[in-house]
Chain A
């Protein structure tokens, strides 16, 4: 292998990209607007949950309960008739419908422990789970304070003090922003290398390289370093300017350590792109392959939902995906301030996965290029 060839071919890739304004525009777009919109769209914990209340009691207590549902957690409660409740829930207008029965206040004061009914639209799983907890605690608190005015009760003896580490307010933007950056790094590194390989093949330029004293290894290595560099710079800039600056997310750990991890990840992801490029015979086929790979990578890497809740099989299979390790590494370093002694297994895994993709792509390279001719 000649390092000079790798450098020259890599510079060529950079020139090609620099002369493609639409691609540049899209790159800027995904690392700024897309990250910002994606990060801020997630409601902070429970946010403006739509709730309707059927108040059949019309008492002082029921009014206190109604008033207790406030923004930003809930939209102002809709006061509705019992008859309209089902219809509204069917149409998806309300996630929660609370029914306060007749004589509620009277029964509370008489110590009869009456029940309020909370209907939850369980198709909205995430809001249903968190929100019903909120509703329960709001109702309980209101009833408790109301009841305490009339009778003394002892406080519970043991108190559970919950402290959130690494993100005390559970600000979802922190999590969302870093995740979006990771997703875009994945998308770009696969598209830039894989689609560029197919384009070179369609134009015959790759074929031209193969008659020169240049090896497939050098061609591949040049794509990995040049496109990796572009995505790395864009990703780090996005992290510093958009995530830390614009969105104000505090990044806990060492950025150089993260950058090192990102380099390894880019090696794996760009190799994956080339790997896919050796399989697709046209851009349309590559597009389908891309969707087939990208979506599972994003959904199952642990960046959207925690890995613990996935079936065992999925978890095991996803250990072969570079994303999984990068998400672990990024969350560890950026949120929990993890050091190399903690995240080295992920570094190792990325290196290994990248080498496998690179190796297989390398073995397929020449035959896949000439098969197209």
Chain B
């Protein structure tokens, strides 16, 4: 499509995307610095440039998932800063974020993932079915419809992502580094797919960000970016001509500003000097089994000292698992690993000092600065303290980290982070380096710099390097490579040897040949023939207002994810039953078995009679008598005795004489509630003893008291704590667990990145929140039913009042409880903060402010205010009312009204606080 238009000048009228002086800042960093460009309709345009130059941010602005800060972003004929326009064009845009399957749900199957997106875009049943079948067929995923997305290989994940993006036939398709970390075969299949789809939909505009110039060379139009600015734009041919370069990568380098270009030197690999036959690593018949899945199947590898050994293979073929076993991180199921001719021993710390390991994902501490990370690892590897400062400085210079020592890794571009990871892996001068995809997502210049270091290490310092990669030009630089597929090593040889054996023109061709041969039926190739994706007349997608279908789509997804996590469901259900037992038995107001002792300074029949009276009470348990003040003090301080009775000397004599006497009762006041009960018991027993004594002495009962009080304990006549406590525990249990699950469900999306689906699709904030809430409401209601059954059977608490009233109360209440969780989730970013925050904001109010032990009316201070509005108080009234007082709807109107009011308040606040775009 050489005639494709773009850039300044021609075809402005057909521009789908028009950017004018767009700027974006994250705190002090400037991500985009005045971007102006137009993208023409119907063409495949690419944003190319190194890492961290603002490509992803620009795409997010165009997709409408990030808030426009400065400048004008016009997409599909409207301003993306205008929420109404965003809502209107949203269904015409598809956005696939960076990362392998980042917006997919790993536990959902292929079909379910596609279905989720189809529903979000409001497709009807028939349309959904026909379109998803056609797309899956075309991408070759049709046979894998029932496989969970998390178990797909990286290439398949990206194809599935593409299906999900294309399900609503968008006019604008935005792909952010779609083939990063994908093996060459899958990469080729992916671009074939895009090409064939564009054939069917010639009007569709595709905007791609990529760091790979080889890919970009086949695009219609390119925009080269660096430092948040546009360097140049044009067709690949124009750019080649303009720079006078011969290859795409050379164009890229030629376009860079002078300063950055100077950093780049072509990589040359000196030949490997003949080895001394010393092996650094040897794996013999190494296998790893995860349950029924054989991840690594009898792998044999021998790597000589000083060699650079490459591991190639599609994603999920067992490379990472093998490397982890070699690094001693995973125990092998069978087979043997020998490091430096010694069997690998996970507990052997000296071998570890000879090995440097760099895992696939960045795994340094993002909360520590660059320098702190280096120093920490140096110390852990026991680099002598005196050498640390020098070593750290040396590494900073070698890896271009000068001036960054105070920066946090999270703020650095991917390429710099990878350099830091390598520096950390080298801090203790290891003899063997194990690097798992060290250059994935790193731009060409940074990659070359990185490789130069590796080559120097190997050739100069004789460090053995074992790495995995997806880049063919990197494989080319290895001394030997192994091809891995489905847990097995297909072939090992020098790159040249492989090309020869396969009789191929290039290593890539040889590689793809091997893979195609090995995969055969297992890996889908995708049908090249364009089986026309059903282009049934599409009804204009309804985006305005509230859509039950979109809400339902989120509900379905959340419910499926919940069902696929049986541990979470069982813990949630059994856990609340367990907690009910604990609380019902644990919180008891009946104070019994109170330990007491007597300090008898009188020791007459009278004092012994009094003591006997106490010993007969079921409330008290007698401990050994006290022998003096010192004993009294010590034993009360130790908490052994709750109460001490002290009889004064001459008690019996004075009483007989009719003189006033005082019997002392020392009560441990450290637990005030218990002390009050003890006091009441003591007074009762004392009165009883007096009456008995009078009767015995006078031979007749005491004169009648002037009046008596008949006390009737209502609703719970035996004043059994258990009966009163069980109905009160239900509201507390229905709060804690549902709130925490609901809070984590949203924050988890934030942490994992699937929240981008909420930003990029027409789903509204209310639909999103309620959709995610419903499964947890259902789970909580299951809990409610089980708790109720347990209360009436195991605890034999009679349910006297209206069951309907109680159940409706519980339903409204669990909506509040999950709503509270959602509200907390809108305020925090990390799961750990959500967990901690929910625990803090639910446990204390629910157990202390809501009438569990003391009625809300009697509370004071801030707690009283919280108790009055907290939903738990109201459901507590409903629960105890229906259980113990036999009440129905009409008696509990006030509580129902308060609960009903809490629902819109909680939901409304959550909707207000939730952002529909990234800021």
Contacts and interface: CB of A to CB of B under 8 A. Distances in A.
A261 to B, nearest CB: 14
Nearest to A27: B836
B359 A43 contact: no
A60 interface: no
Contacts of A285: 567-568, 571
Q: In which size bucket is the chain B interface? A: 35 or more
A26 B833 contact: yes
A167 B670 contact: yes
Contacts of A266: none
A284 interface: yes
A160 B368 CA distance: 66
Nearest to A286: B835
Contacts of A306: 591, 642, 671, 674
Given A123-B715, A286-B835, A299-B586, A4 B379 contact: yes
A182 interface: no
B109 to A, nearest CB: 20
A127 B673 CA distance: 10
A160 B676 contact: no
Contacts of B690: 156-158
Find the residue from A95, A295, A298 having the highest chain B CB count within 10 A: A295
A42 interface: yes
Contacts of A255: none
Interface in A171-200: 171-172, 174-175, 180, 183, 187, 191, 195-196, 198-199
Contacts of A120: 711-714
Given A15-B372, A16-B368, A160 B714 contact: no
Which among B377, B585, B721, B836 has the greatest number of chain A C-beta atoms within 10 A?
Answer: B836
B855 A124 contact: yes
Contact of B863 (A41, A129, A171, A292): A41
Contacts of B359: 204, 207-208
Interface in B590-631: 590-595
A235 B588 CA distance: 28
Interface residues of A, number: 149
A205 B363 contact: yes
A203 B862 CA distance: 40
Contacts of A90: 881, 885, 887, 891
A314 B587 CA distance: 11
Contacts of B350: 213
Interface in A328-366: 328, 331-332, 335-339, 342-343, 366
Interface in A276-308: 281-292, 294-296, 298-300, 304-306, 308
Contacts of A34: 840, 844
> Quick one: which of A42, A117, A155, A199 has the most chain B CB within 10 A?
A42
A83 interface: no
Given A75-B857, A157-B660, A208-B363, A336 B636 contact: yes
B575 A95 contact: no
Interface string B561-584: 000010110011001001100110
Interface stretch (B240-248, B323-331, B803-811): B323-331
Interface stretch (A136-144, A225-233, A237-245, A267-275): A136-144
A235 to B, nearest CB: 15
Contact of A283 (B670, B705, B831, B857): B831
A130 B736 CA distance: 30
Contacts of A104: 707
A199 B585 CA distance: 35
Given A108-B707, A159-B661, A290-B839, A167 B376 contact: no
A26 B827 CA distance: 12
A322 B711 CA distance: 42
A335 B676 CA distance: 17
Contacts of A119: 712, 714
Interface stretch (B44-52, B310-318, B679-687): B679-687
Interface in B654-693: 655, 658, 660-677, 679-680, 682-683, 686, 690
Contacts of A122: 713-717, 719, 724
Contact of B836 (A23, A113, A296, A335): A23
Given A126-B853, A160-B682, A213 B587 contact: no
Contact of A113 (B368, B704, B715): B704
Contacts of B666: 163, 165
Contacts of B664: 161, 163
B796 interface: no
A173 to B, nearest CB: 9
Contacts of A299: 582-583, 586-587, 847
Contact of B589 (A41, A111, A126, A174): A126
Given A162-B682, A291-B736, A294-B843, A115 B710 contact: yes
A167 to B, nearest CB: 4
Contact of B669 (A168, A198, A204): A168
B349 A213 contact: yes
B636 A196 contact: no
B637 interface: yes
A116 B858 contact: no
A198 B834 CA distance: 14
B238 interface: no
Contacts of A281: 567
The 10 closest A-B pairs by CB, nearest first: A41-B863, A167-B669, A164-B669, A204-B363, A335-B670, A122-B716, A122-B713, A283-B831, A213-B349, A147-B706
29 contacts: A9-B380, A15-B367, A19-B408, A26-B836, A45-B676, A47-B854, A115-B708, A116-B708, A126-B853, A158-B651, A159-B663, A164-B675, A167-B672, A172-B673, A212-B352, A213-B349, A281-B567, A287-B740, A287-B744, A287-B838, A288-B571, A291-B736, A304-B587, A304-B847, A306-B674, A309-B590, A336-B638, A366-B346, A370-B330
Given A170-B672, A204-B361, A309-B591, 5 more contacts: A92-B855, A166-B668, A187-B843, A291-B736, A304-B586
